[in-house]
């Protein structure tokens, strides 16, 4: 059978991707080890490594000092060849992080904002956090290969926020266009809960779980779904937004914690922590408030569990810091509503879950471009 030039080019590309995948997940390897792990012939592995070195994706590792004889050459994936930018735009803060191509954070920063700050000022805070992160990393916008942004609200496929309750004038903001003005790279925008779920599935307590429900628990909880190992957005970006349905009572459930007379006059952003602390110490009023909050959370969660039958439910978001108080009430309220109670775990990523998920999404975009006509390494050379 005659093999066309296009078929040969695709075969070389697949071989290169197979080698890159193995090198990204392993310590430095020799050509023989790479050949064995990929199933390629030694000759093909040699050819692929030479091409990847020329492209800048792979580097040779110097032999250990004092090694006897002539050691075999070993090669590693150059995770430092490029960087991605992840952002988390929340009600009270903006988080930014720059990572290498393996997701290792090289610089991060946080900027506080007021919940009622106008859109223009919030975007200015986003720009300040981004600039500070770039400066800390010693990078410029042209060193970034992809940008991913997490934000409160429902986000459509074009990166525009369509629905949001917690920020007065945030609906309609076009975050894709905002970042495209500063970065000539792919820009991806998603709901913050969805990116938090992605982070949990890649590097958190849900690592490698194929089907899960993620609960981004706070004053107004959010949710996200991982189905068959992939983040599920839905046709219009609204998958998991059960909290918008008044019947599940998520929109006002923060009042269970904030309406206690004992904590009247406390700063609004601190009340929940104070209530959880009191419940931890056995205060009956606080314990009852946490039970009511957990009961409302369980209603929307049960709707998703009954629909998806997930392996796992992850409790994340700001209130997960008080998971020692909240987890068991949620379990007790949820179990009677389910045909099969899934495992329930607490997030271990804290408030960094969204920005880490954004970095994961940006790296996925870079992976999709590897060795393609839009190879970011080729783009980088244009600046050299």
pLDDT digits (tens, 9 = 90+) for 274-327: 999 999 999 999 999 999 999 999 999 999 999 999 999 999 998 999 999 999
In a domain, 157, yes or no: yes
- The confidence score (pLDDT) of residue 381 equals 55
Distance between CA atoms of 311 and 328, rounded to whole angstroms?
18
Q: Are residues 116 and 52 in the same domain?
A: no
- Under 8 Å between Cβ of 148 and 358: yes
Could you list the residue range(s) of the whole structural domain that residue 271 is in? 207-348
Q: Does residue 107 share a domain with residue 151?
A: yes
- What average pLDDT is seen over the chain? 90
For a pLDDT cut of 70, what percent of the chain falls above it?
A: 93
Q: Which residue has the higher pLDDT, 339 or 244?
A: 339
Residue with tokens 């995948």: 21
Q: Are residues 364 and 298 in the same domain?
A: no
Separation CA 195–CA 297 (nearest Å): 20
Q: Does residue 4 carry a pLDDT above 60?
A: no
Encode pLDDT of 153-179 as tens digits: 999 989 999 999 889 899 999 999 999
Q: Examine the pLDDT at 115 and tell me if it is beyond 90.
A: no
Instruction: State how many domains the chain has.
Output: 3
Q: Which of 51, 77, 103 is the last residue of a domain?
A: 77
Place of tokens 């008080």: 322
- 69 and 86 fall within a common domain: no
Q: Please give the Cα distance from 84 to 103 (Å, whole number).
A: 8
pLDDT on residue 378: 63
Question: Is there a domain that residue 202 lies in?
Answer: no
Write the pLDDT tens digit of every residue in 328-384. Answer: 999 999 999 999 999 999 999 988 999 999 999 999 999 888 766 667 776 655 454
36-89 pLDDT per residue, tens: 999 999 999 999 999 999 988 999 998 766 555 577 899 999 999 999 999 999
Is 303 a domain residue?
A: yes
Determine phi and psi for 303, rounding to 5 degrees: -60, -40
**pLDDT for 1:** 41
Which range, of 152-161, 200-209, 257-266, averages the lowest pLDDT? 257-266
273 shares a domain with 178: no
Residue 213 lies in a domain: yes
Q: Which of 45, 77, 109 is the last residue of a domain?
A: 77
Buried b (16+ CB within 10 A) or exposed e, 320-343: bbbbebbbebbeebbeeeeeeebe
Mark whether 344 and 211 lie in a shared domain: yes
Contact criterion met (CB below 8 Å) for 67 and 87: no
- Based on the domain organization, do 232 and 340 belong to the same domain? yes
**Within this chain, do residues 270 and 223 fall inside the same structural domain, yes or no?**
yes
Which CATH number do you get for residue 328?
Answer: 3.30.420.40
106 pLDDT exceeds 80? Answer: yes
Res 181: pLDDT: 94
Indicate whether 247 and 178 sit together in one domain.
no
Q: Does residue 201 lie within any of the structural domains? A: no
Q: Is residue 127 part of a domain?
A: yes
Neighbours of 316 (CB within 10 A): 32
Instruction: Looking at the structure, tell me whether residues 38 and 126 fall in a common domain.
Output: no
Helix (H, G, I), strand (E, B) or coil at 349: coil
Which residues in 287-307 are b (16+ Cβ under 10 Å) and which e?
Answer: bebbbbbbbbbbbbbbbbbee
Q: How confident is the model at residue 3 (pLDDT cuts 50, 70, 90)?
A: very low
**What pTM was estimated for this model as a whole?**
0.88
Is residue 281 assigned to a domain?
yes
Last residue of a domain, one of 77, 95, 116: 77
For residue 201, what are its two tokens?
């599935």
Residues 164 and 97 in one domain: yes
Based on the domain organization, do 72 and 132 belong to the same domain? no
């Amino acid at each position: 059978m005659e093999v066309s030039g296009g078929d040969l080019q695709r075969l070389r590309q697949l071989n290169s991707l197979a080698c890159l995948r193995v090198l990204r997940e392993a310590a430095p390897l020799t050509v023989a080890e790479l050949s064995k792990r990929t199933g390629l012939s030694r000759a093909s592995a040699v050819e692929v490594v030479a091409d990847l070195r020329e492209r800048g994706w792979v580097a040779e590792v110097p032999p250990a000092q004092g090694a006897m004889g002539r050691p075999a050459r070993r090669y590693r994936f150059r995770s430092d060849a490029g960087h991605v930018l992840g952002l988390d735009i929340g009600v009270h803060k903006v988080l930014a992080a720059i990572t290498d191509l393996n997701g290792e954070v090289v610089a991060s920063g946080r900027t506080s904002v007021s919940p009622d700050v106008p859109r223009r000022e919030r975007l200015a805070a986003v720009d300040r956090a981004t600039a500070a992160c770039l400066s800390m990393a010693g990078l410029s916008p042209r060193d970034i290969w992809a940008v991913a942004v997490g934000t409160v609200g429902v986000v459509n496929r074009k990166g525009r926020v369509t629905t949001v309750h917690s920020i007065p004038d945030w609906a309609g903001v076009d975050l894709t266009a905002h970042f495209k003005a500063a970065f000539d790279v792919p820009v991806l925008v998603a709901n913050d809960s969805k990116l938090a779920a992605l982070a949990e599935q890649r590097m958190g307590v849900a690592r490698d779980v194929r089907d899960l429900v993620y609960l981004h628990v706070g004053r107004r909880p959010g949710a996200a779904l991982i189905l068959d190992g992939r983040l599920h957005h839905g046709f219009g970006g609204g998958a998991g937004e059960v909290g918008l349905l008044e019947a599940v009572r998520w929109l006002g459930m923060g009042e269970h914690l904030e309406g206690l007379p004992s904590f009247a006059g406390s700063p609004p952003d601190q009340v929940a922590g104070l209530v959880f602390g009191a419940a931890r110490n056995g205060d009956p009023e606080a314990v009852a408030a946490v039970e009511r909050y957990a009961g409302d959370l369980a209603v929307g969660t049960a709707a998703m569990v009954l629909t998806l039958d997930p392996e796992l439910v992850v409790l994340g978001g700001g209130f997960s810091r008080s998971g020692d108080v909240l987890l068991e009430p949620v379990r007790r309220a949820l179990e009677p509503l389910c045909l099969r109670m899934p495992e329930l775990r607490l997030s271990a990523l804290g408030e960094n879950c969204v920005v880490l998920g954004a970095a994961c999404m940006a790296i996925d975009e870079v992976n999709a471009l590897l060795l393609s006509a839009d190879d970011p390494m080729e783009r980088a050379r244009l600046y050299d």
